[in-house]
Chain A
Amino acid sequence: MENIAEEVLKGNRFALSKAITAIENEYDNATEIMQKLYPHTGHAYVLGVTGPPGAGKSTLTDKLAKEYRKRGKTVGIIAIDPTSPFSGGAILGDRIRMNELTLDPGVFIRSMGTRGSLGGLSHKTADAVKAMDAFGVDVIFVETVGVGQSEVDIVKAADTTMVVLIPGMGDDIQAIKAGILEIGDIFTINKADHDGADKLATELNMMLDLDGETKDWRPPILKAIANQNIGIKEVVDTFHKHHDHIEGNGQLTVRRTERAKNEMLDLLDARIGAYVRHNIVDNGKLDEYVQDIKARKTDPYTVVNSVLQDMLK
């Protein structure tokens, strides 16, 4: 397909799909596509959905997307599943929970493997979000891999982040550790009909109260039973509330500015890294350096200093 970016802007769904493939696989035309799409981004609202494996993130996302459709919004979904560190393969299974959305022309779903990224997203998630944004969806869900305690990249990619938890995953000391419990703008306890939901809500409330008066948004704790469609409207209402709040106090602008800065610096790091690597591989010096380092004739710090001095002067 030629003119992928132009076709995306015209609303061609297959072009959007092709654009994301080019981005994800780093095809030669990916930069050009992003350059053309970028001016048309910034309109979609990005919702992050994160939480441990089996919490019901995909089922919840499915139900939330349907609620947005009822309210007249178009929806993009990027669902991330883990890539095997051994084979490089992946089973991308989030769509199983979203089959009823497949034929809705107001919804576009794309699955991505993490491909070595450890923060709960893939390296190319941010650009895939931009492609959907330029395509023209109103709301974009980014569903992370099932996370443990420290995969918090979603907070950099989303305007509003929801942490999905389920009862029975540990005591209250787990809830005061650093990590994903610090990034929730909204907490949703899914499978709230299971034993321990009230206790979990109490523990979360106690943890969040320790933040005291320092924050002007106290993350609400919601309950849902996604597979019975219970609590869904309340979650969407709360997304709206949080959106209005951070739009009103300027936080949305702050978040998006921070994101623009991080993305530019990440791109710069990646490009410089790739450039320098290619150079020392191409000129055959990499093996020489490694041998010298291994023999303790020199050290990696000295080598890197001299490589950078040579290349960047």
Chain B
Amino acid sequence: MDKRIKVLVAKPGLDGHDRGAKVVARALRDAGFEVVYTGLRQTPEQIAEAAMQEDVDVVAMSLLSGAHPHLFPKVVELVRGKGMKDALIIGGGVIPETDIPALKEAGVSEVFTPGTPTTKVVDYIKANVK
């Protein structure tokens, strides 16, 4: 058996800043994960479909535009709707602390805000992936 953790790093919505997503993608690669990166400006539908086709263990979204209260829950709903019940769904970016409880309520397992060391993201995935 040769199982590796597979992660989709996705940029939902319209912001054009993917430096953070690329830094995270690189850190996950160096942790031995297989990282599918789909680039900027993805709709929730595209993210969910790509997650399904790639059968990823983790969907990691990065968003800096402020649209997270709408887009993160939408991705969760669509990913679960594809039958992916076990996939871990996490988010990161410029997310106000006060928004985090509602995101978790909507099924986002964890939210990482600016300043989070990449090792924390890696450790979280290793500890929580199914």
Contact A99 B42 (CB under 8 A): yes
B63 interfacial by beta-carbon distance below 8 Å? no
Residue of B nearest to A90 (CB): B34
CB contacts under 8 Å to A, within B1-57, are: 1-4, 25-26, 28-39, 42, 45-46, 49-50, 52-55
Residue of B nearest to A15 (CB): B83
Q: Report the separation of the CA atoms of residues A17 and B57 in the bound assembly, to the nearest whole angstrom.
A: 12
Interface residues on A, range: 20 to 34
B16 CB, min distance to chain A CBs, angstroms: 14
CB contacts under 8 Å to A, within B94-129, are: none
Main secondary structure, interface of A, reads mixed
A33 CB, min distance to chain B CBs, angstroms: 14
B82 interfacial by beta-carbon distance below 8 Å? yes
Using a CB–CB cutoff of 8 Å, the interface residues on chain B facing chain A are: 1-4, 25-26, 28-39, 42, 45-46, 49-50, 52-55, 82-84
Contact A25 B35 (CB under 8 A): no
Known: A1-B83, A93-B37. 10 other contacts (CB 8 A): A87-B29, A87-B30, A89-B33, A91-B29, A92-B36, A93-B36, A95-B39, A99-B42, A102-B46, A109-B53
B32 CB, min distance to chain A CBs, angstroms: 4
Using a CB–CB cutoff of 8 Å, the interface residues on chain A facing chain B are: 1, 13-14, 17-18, 20-21, 24-28, 83-84, 87-93, 95-96, 99, 102-103, 108-111, 113, 115
Residue of A nearest to B40 (CB): A96
Question: Beyond A14-B83, A96-B38, is A89–B54 a contact (Cβ under 8 Å)?
Answer: no
**What residues of A have a CB within 8 angstroms of the CB of B4 in the complex?**
25, 88-89, 113, 115
Q: Report the separation of the CA atoms of residues A102 and B26 in the bound assembly, to the nearest whole angstrom.
A: 23
